[in-house]
């Protein structure tokens, strides 16, 4: 699930690996994530994610009402799954912010918050 971009290669001898952005995940990648990070719910709701063809783009938009419509009837399960999805989105957003800051620093030098 990782890809290498040309920006992540430094001086030829060191290759950085960056996870593929969640936004671009296929349904298969979402299913792998669900099995790994929501293991206790994979057996119960994995078919719901398959039936609804949940991709990374739709995963990061899922909210409690979405899970309910998908058939996740237990409110405790919805709460926990929503929390795990939000953590994934936050982690993904933080990686994107760091990449943007790194790119800005490379292009414009030191960036201050008062601009």
Q: Within 10 A of 113 (CB to CB), how many other CB atoms are there?
A: 4
The answer to whether residue 40 sits within a structural domain is yes
For residue 112, pLDDT beyond 90: no
Q: Is 57 left (phi over 0), alpha (psi -120 to 50) or beta?
A: alpha
Indicate the pLDDT class of residue 109, thresholds 50, 70 and 90: confident
Determine the structural domain holding residue 94 and report its residue range: 19-106
The answer to whether residue 83 sits within a structural domain is yes
Q: Within 10 A of 22 (CB to CB), how many other CB atoms are there?
A: 23
7 DSSP assignment: G
**Residue pLDDT, tens place only, 59-76:** 999 999 999 999 999 999
How many domains does the structure of the chain reveal? 1
Q: What is the pTM of this model?
A: 0.74
The answer to whether residue 13 sits within a structural domain is no
Q: What is the CATH number of the domain that holds 48?
A: 1.10.150.50
Structure-model confidence comparison of residues 19 and 7, the more confident one: 19
**Alpha carbon distance 48, 102 (integer Å):** 38
Measured between alpha carbons, how far apart are the two ends of the chain, in Å? 37
The answer to whether residue 9 sits within a structural domain is no
């Amino acid at each position: 699930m990782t890809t290498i971009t040309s920006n992540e290669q430094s001086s030829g001898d060191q290759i950085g690996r960056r996870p593929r952005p969640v936004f671009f995940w296929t349904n298969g990648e979402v299913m792998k994530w669900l099995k790994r990070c929501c293991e206790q719910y994979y057996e119960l709701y994995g078919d719901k994610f398959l039936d609804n063809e949940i991709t990374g783009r739709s995963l990061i938009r899922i909210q409690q009402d979405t899970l309910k419509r998908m058939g996740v009837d237990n409110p405790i399960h919805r709460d926990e799954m929503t929390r795990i999805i939000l953590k994934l989105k936050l982690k993904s957003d933080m990686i994107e912010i760091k990449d943007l800051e790194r790119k800005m620093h490379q292009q414009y030098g030191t960036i201050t918050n008062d601009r």
